[in-house]
Structure 1
Amino acid sequence: MEMWSLWLFLISFLIVSVTTWIYWWRNPSCNGRLPPGSMGLPLIGETFNFLVTSKSIDIHPFIKERMERYGPLFKTSLAGRSVVVSSDPDFNYFVLQQEDKLVELYYMDTFAKLVHKENVNEGGYLHKYLKRVLLSCIGPECLKEKLLSQSEEIINHELHEWTKQSEVEVKAQSAAMTHGFISKILMGCELENSEENLSEYFCSFLQRLLTFPLYIPGTDFYRCIKKQQKVLTLISQLLEERRKSYSQGCNNGDFLGQLVEGMGKEAFLTPEFVSNVIFGLLAATIDTISSAVTLAIKCVLDDPSALQQLTEEHEEILKKREGTNLGLSWEEYKSMTFTHYVIKEALRLASVAPGIFRRVITDIHIDGYTIPKGWILLIIPAALQLNPNIYEDPLTFNPSRWKNMGGISIAKNFVPFGGGNRTCAGAELSKVLMAVLLHVWVTKYRLTRIRGGDVARTPVLEFTNGFFVKVSEKQP
């Protein structure tokens, strides 16, 4: 009888404890009223719903359904973190201007573990230092003086190589081209591994990033860690070679070279941290740029009118040029009005980044709700850039819509490169690469669509069955 009473007590205690835990999970403490929404299952939250593949370029169903149910602000839980998702353009614009006052830089736990380790979510001096060094390598002056011409040379070469293939999978080939170009900017040479296609790995990185950070054999995160370790070994070997060269008085001044120079001056520039920074930059650029490039090519091929306008604009550039053997100038790049419309429209539709993450550092009060300190604020670019109240027929590729877009509307509803003082340092480089590729394509080559091109959100942009084209040289 006593044993039965003991078991009854333990079972009752367990039921009460679990029930209490579930209640507190679903009703987090807050000095005010939390936004509407659901925290989902304990620990798991609503992560699986967030990761469901949507066979459309539209706003991911997880976001769209909750926006319709709760409005532009709702709470949820993703991968064990309490999150408030915002699709309110005015609030987003305001909060991104309050960096280090209301919010601070934050990356998902998976990214923190994969990339910058303990330093990834630190802001202030570290972020400003890295951004300053990076802009010295890819900023406006570098773009004008050398990167514009270098990108044209590389893209000319790559598209000529594409003509030798019976068919080209655009995303994969664009990723390989971007990988080579970005690697040379950052490290002075292309990062290679004879056993693996590194550009393909970096392209799958964002997908693997959006998982639970479970280091268990068989999980995507585990496989990602293992591959990351191989890539980091390659970067570390290169770093050691560059440090030896620097000690002998050699430094070519690229991004890695400047970090090597700073290693004796800045305590946070450890070999491990520098290797992870390089890895993070490669991971952040290769997939995003190649996805945007692929979508731009697909959309232009699907729109004969846009292709015609694009071709006429670039042929006019060639006509006005004094010498036929001259490459693109900065002035010509800036003059590409319709081309920049095409780029903006592709970036708007692509919404390549799954979200802009910030950690709340003090309670934020908005519209009667409170977003508690320590919670994660998630801004979804697609929810802004595919908003039918701002963009007529938002899923339609229409470059000409940018003729009449006002500056304030663009600032609040077009955030392909983030916002505030955390705007992506590589924004202009990305646009230059896209513009140059479009220029080389329509003036020298003919692309014929073969198959594929279906897009999905996972929630990152994906081409589910590839996008294959045939490339041939234009006849004079």
Structure 2
Amino acid sequence: MWNIIGLWAVGVIVIGISHWVYKWKNPKCRGILPPGSMGLPIIGESFQYFSSHSYQGIPPFIAKRTARYGTLFKTSVLGQPVVISTDPEINHYVFQQEEKLFRCWYTKSAIELTGMQGLIANDGVVHKYLRSFILSLIGPERLKRDLLSEIDLVTRKHLHCWARRGEVDIKEAAAIMLFIFFAGKILGCDEQEALELREHYKAFYNGFLSFPINVPGTAFHACLQGRKNAVKVIKDIFKKRKLSKEKRDEKDFLDYLFQEVDNDEALLTEAIAVDAIFLLIFAAYETTSSSITLLLKHLKDRPDVLGQLMEEHGQIRRNRVDKDAPISWVEYKSMTFTQMVTNETVRLANIVPGIFRIVLKDVDIKGYTIPAGWIFMVCPSSVHLDPTKYASPLTFNPWRWKDEELHSASKKFMAFGGGMRLCVGADLSKVQTSIFLYYLLKNYSWNVINDGNIIRQPGLIFKKALRIQIREIQRENDKEIIA
């Protein structure tokens, strides 16, 4: 009797599990889903997606599935049903349908890490407001008016310090330079305060692209602690500034934030401001320092690119009355080849592994139906490294950007995102990289002594430092003289 009941119970469990697995592998859809595999229940294909691989080329996870299923395929990552596109036309369509058929989406863990009320957590009116406000602080007009000269000054200062040390880890040195600048500009931190704050950000970054398992000892747990500590510092600075009666000769970012927070008609609250600042500082230093590192990795073997850069920068100096004056906005805009080099660097860098949108209602695309509630992922690297879009796509070739648009996204270029969510810091990053290149090549001799070890997992991970030797030089009529 009990044997029969036991067998019956086991049978029910087996049937139940089988039915659950079947439903997982064959999700409901009113039309035809794109081809692909949903992987294991709950886990999906997360382990394959997060596996480490070479930083060069299209990620194997994407390449293998594109070869098997085509440019539009389904999968599941971190428990979410996902459709991935490597098709430029489909990607463009998705960006054009922002807030209509698709809306920006991030994982719950990403929002938890970057702030429940921050820029990526909000959409619609609040997002547009935050985006507009941040652009007023770091956008082209602000860059032109005063940030350009400040970036010029801080870049010269740090390069001089690097040369005195003689050897630097370029990723770490560039990150420190940028972090000190932005922590000072946004929060009014002095150099020591900025360095202490960055320690919390380092803990945050090390776990940002990890599996979201919040258990002591995991990278994700350390990441949450890093965020918690960094936010505490930001809130303490807020409190200290509010209580301070010191009169400031010139407004900084915090002054503008407080002005907005105190405005009853504004949407900005102190909680939103804290989350916005936390993410703004992180984005401002981390992505650009990665780009600068990869740029030097490419330049070390390209004397032809270096020669063209030197010629462009030399022309700027020859046209000047004051050879040591800060770079002007007109001069920056004249650096067309420098900006071609920057575009080529970020095309190959693919710092953002995927751009995510949530499907607002069932969408029909190229004969397939993507159900509402599913996640849509645009894969930039598959477009940036497509041989039908770029000849010899793995080759570092800045000249491919000749006569191309250098300051906007397109169907085949989305290093800074696309649509309504185009990166607010795109112009800022390009200015920083251009200024850095100008002074590095003008005043310093350098060579790479350790090529580093860079992988993707799926974002960029610098496992071993790329180190350079650097020494200061003087130039007379564009000829190098030992300082």
Q: Smaller-chain TM-score range?
A: over 0.9
Give the TM-score normalised by structure 2. Answer: 0.92
Indicate the residue corresponding to 1:255 in structure 2: 253
Q: Deviations over 1:90-116 (max 9, x none)?
A: 111121121110111111221111122
Q: Is the 8 A contact 2:409 2:417 kept in 1?
A: no
Q: Return the letter of the residue paired with 1:435.
A: S
RMSD over aligned Cα atoms: 2.4
Q: Deviations over 1:266-323 (max 9, x none)?
A: 6864444322221122222322111011111221122111111111110111010122
Which deviates more from structure 2 when the two are superposed, residues 217-226 or residues 361-370? Answer: 217-226
1:15-414 correspondence runs (5 A): 15-117=14-116, 120-189=120-189, 198-199=197-198, 202=201, 205=204, 208-245=207-244, 253-264=251-262, 265=264, 269-405=268-404, 411-414=410-413
Q: Is the 8 A contact 2:88 2:412 kept in 1?
A: yes
Partner SS for 1:370: strand
Which deviates more from structure 2 when the two are superposed, residues 264-273 or residues 37-46? Answer: 264-273
Q: Deviations over 1:315-361 (max 9, x none)?
A: 11101012223210111001111101100100101011121111111
Partner SS for 1:412: coil
Q: Deviations over 1:402-449 (max 9, x none)?
A: 115479996111111111111111100000000000000111111111
**For the residues of structure 2 that align with 1:410 and 1:361, how far apart are their CA atoms?**
24
Instruction: Structure 1 unaligned segments of length 5 or more: list them.
Output: none
- From the superposition, tell whether residues 192 and 110 of structure 1 become closer, same or farther in structure 2 (CA, over 3 Å): farther
**For the residues of structure 2 that align with 1:409 and 1:393, how far apart are their CA atoms?**
22
Which deviates more from structure 2 when the two are superposed, residues 206-215 or residues 128-137? Answer: 206-215
Q: Deviations over 1:96-142 (max 9, x none)?
A: 12111011111122111112226643311111111111111111111
Q: Is the 8 A contact 1:175 1:199 kept in 2?
A: no
Post-superposition offset of 1:67: 1.1
- From the superposition, tell whether residues 250 and 446 of structure 1 become closer, same or farther in structure 2 (CA, over 3 Å): closer
Instruction: Structure 2 unaligned segments of length 5 or more: list them.
Output: 476-483
Give the TM-score normalised by structure 1. Answer: 0.93
- From the superposition, tell whether residues 30 and 203 of structure 1 become closer, same or farther in structure 2 (CA, over 3 Å): farther
**For the residues of structure 2 that align with 1:209 and 1:411, how far apart are their CA atoms?**
28
- From the superposition, tell whether residues 453 and 108 of structure 1 become closer, same or farther in structure 2 (CA, over 3 Å): same
- From the superposition, tell whether residues 345 and 407 of structure 1 become closer, same or farther in structure 2 (CA, over 3 Å): closer
Which deviates more from structure 2 when the two are superposed, residues 231-240 or residues 282-291? Answer: 282-291
**For the residues of structure 2 that align with 1:408 and 1:427, how far apart are their CA atoms?**
8
Indicate the residue corresponding to 1:424 in structure 2: 423
Q: Deviations over 1:217-261 (max 9, x none)?
A: 222211111121111110110111233348x88796443333322
**For the residues of structure 1 that align with 2:249 and 2:324, how far apart are their CA atoms?**
33
Q: Is the 8 A contact 1:59 1:386 kept in 2?
A: yes
- From the superposition, tell whether residues 21 and 255 of structure 1 become closer, same or farther in structure 2 (CA, over 3 Å): farther
**For the residues of structure 1 that align with 2:255 and 2:187, how far apart are their CA atoms?**
7
Q: Is the 8 A contact 2:204 2:222 kept in 1?
A: no
**For the residues of structure 2 that align with 1:380 and 1:201, how far apart are their CA atoms?**
30
Indicate the residue corresponding to 2:478 in structure 1: none
- From the superposition, tell whether residues 118 and 282 of structure 1 become closer, same or farther in structure 2 (CA, over 3 Å): closer
- From the superposition, tell whether residues 409 and 294 of structure 1 become closer, same or farther in structure 2 (CA, over 3 Å): closer
**For the residues of structure 2 that align with 1:203 and 1:296, how far apart are their CA atoms?**
22
Q: Return the letter of the residue paired with 2:336.
A: T
Q: Is the 8 A contact 2:204 2:224 kept in 1?
A: no
- From the superposition, tell whether residues 55 and 190 of structure 1 become closer, same or farther in structure 2 (CA, over 3 Å): farther
Post-superposition offset of 1:207: 5.7
Q: Return the letter of the residue paired with 1:122.
A: N
Indicate the residue corresponding to 1:436 in structure 2: 435
Q: Deviations over 1:136-189 (max 9, x none)?
A: 111111111111111110010000000122421000111111111222332233
- From the superposition, tell whether residues 107 and 245 of structure 1 become closer, same or farther in structure 2 (CA, over 3 Å): farther
Partner SS for 1:344: helix
Q: Return the letter of the residue paired with 1:377.
A: F
Partner SS for 2:164: coil
- From the superposition, tell whether residues 409 and 319 of structure 1 become closer, same or farther in structure 2 (CA, over 3 Å): closer
Partner SS for 1:31: coil
Partner SS for 1:472: strand
**For the residues of structure 1 that align with 2:129 and 2:455, how far apart are their CA atoms?**
36
**For the residues of structure 1 that align with 2:456 and 2:146, how far apart are their CA atoms?**
36
Q: Is the 8 A contact 1:182 1:282 kept in 2?
A: yes
Q: Return the letter of the residue paired with 1:288.
A: T
Q: Is the 8 A contact 1:191 1:234 kept in 2?
A: no
Partner SS for 2:315: helix
- From the superposition, tell whether residues 36 and 329 of structure 1 become closer, same or farther in structure 2 (CA, over 3 Å): same
**For the residues of structure 2 that align with 1:409 and 1:187, how far apart are their CA atoms?**
30
